[in-house]
Structure 1
Amino acid sequence: MVERVPWMSPVDYEIMLFFDEHPIQVSPRVLAANIDYDRQYVSKRCRTLSDAGLLTAVETGLYQLTETGCDYLEGELDVRDLEIEE
């Protein structure tokens, strides 16, 4: 079971689940089209998730899920390890 992280928004879970189900590198634009959210908002959330170590920017504008992100989705990560400055 995934523990809720206070700073996360609902779209963050959808972003991470997309990457978990599709282990590919995608841009926020492609991601937004697939999860039906605004591209600019998805881009902002990808940067936030990257700052937390849950996603990584592999090339300019492309993201993928990190091992930490996988651990979080599997419920194997203490959410206190995911504190970020907002």
Structure 2
Amino acid sequence: MRRPHVEWMTRADDAILEFLLNEGNRPLIVTPGVIEANIAYALSSINQRLRKLKAAGLVDYHDEERGLYKITEKGEQYLSGEISPEDLTLEDFLE
């Protein structure tokens, strides 16, 4: 299935979600620093994008105190093209 086009999302968002999904294996639970070490984006960008992805319900904390993130079921549905762009709005969160 094809992923929905979501205006506020960037290529970094897809890269983060795909990394967390860890297709073919168990989804990963990692810090932003581990994401940075594995994809081609700076830590500051990853932190910014994680905040937006979390606001949209695509990622969530596994352990907030330790800064560990995981992909949500909604994030997995986005990657597989199972949800519509209307389900991924950030009305109050967009800059």
- State TM-score, norm by structure 1: 0.93
Deviations 1:9-66 (A, max 9, x none): 1100000011112611101111011002111110110111011000001112111100
Structure 1 runs of 4+ with >6 Å offset: none
Alpha-carbon distance in structure 2 between the residues aligned to 1:5 and 1:20: 19
Which of the two has greater helix per residue? 1
Alpha-carbon distance in structure 1 between the residues aligned to 2:52 and 2:42: 15
2:45 pairs with 41, 46, 69, which one?
41
- Which amino acid is 1:5 matched to? V
1:70 pairs with 61, 76, 80, which one?
76
Alpha-carbon distance in structure 2 between the residues aligned to 1:16 and 1:54: 8
SS at match of 1:69: helix
Alpha-carbon distance in structure 1 between the residues aligned to 2:18 and 2:28: 12
| Percent identical | 37
Q: RMSD across aligned C-alpha pairs, in angstroms?
A: 1.1
- State TM-score, norm by structure 2: 0.85
Alpha-carbon distance in structure 2 between the residues aligned to 1:65 and 1:24: 8
Alpha-carbon distance in structure 1 between the residues aligned to 2:47 and 2:37: 12
